[in-house]
Amino acid sequence: MIEIERRFLCEVADPRVLDTAPASNLRQGYLTAEGPTVRVRKIADRYLMTIKVGTGIVRREVEFQIPTEAGRELLEITDELMIEKRRYYLGRWEIDIFKGDLEGLTIAEVELAATDEPLPDLPPGIILGREVTDDPRFTNQSLASLGPDSLTDLLNELGPDDDGSP
């Protein structure tokens, strides 16, 4: 399956927008540090294996459910390359608020039907910052290897966007 997705650093300017939004806690580990992404994700009581190939806005993705025992074992193996986040579903937008070593990082992403499709309207209270779709440092696979100091350094390295936002 082809995935067309854009990702942005973002700010939740009005946290009340998240109060009634459907949400999930995600824990995901990576079996690869570079090259094709091989991910194991726990969402609720399900485990999913995902393989992604490519970079940028268009990537090829294969995802399938795996047995619980295999999912637990695989997540344990990925202990050094893991992220945790709470994902909020706001219309077509997904807002990921990272936890643990990546606390303070919030990313908005949206899947599109075509590369030239305009972005759907943002939910009120969400402010997009710098687009990071084409920045390989902001793939979840890359973020999984960062500690809190590395994240701070990365965000400081970016500096303000053209409009002054993060």
> pTM for this structure?
0.92
Catalytic residues: 30
Distance of alpha carbon 14 from its chain centroid, rounded? 20
What is the CATH classification number for the domain harbouring 60? 2.40.320.10
Structure token digits, residue 21:
């939004």
Q: How many domains does the chain have?
A: 1
**Owning domain of residue 94:** 2-158
Inside any domain, residue 163:
no
The pLDDT of residue 160: 64
Give per-residue pLDDT as tens, 59-94: 999 999 999 999 999 999 998 899 999 999 999 999
Distance of alpha carbon 86 from its chain centroid, rounded? 10
CB atoms within 10 A of CB 85: 23
Inside any domain, residue 166:
no
Inside any domain, residue 39:
yes
Inside any domain, residue 164:
no
Structure token digits, residue 22:
């459907």
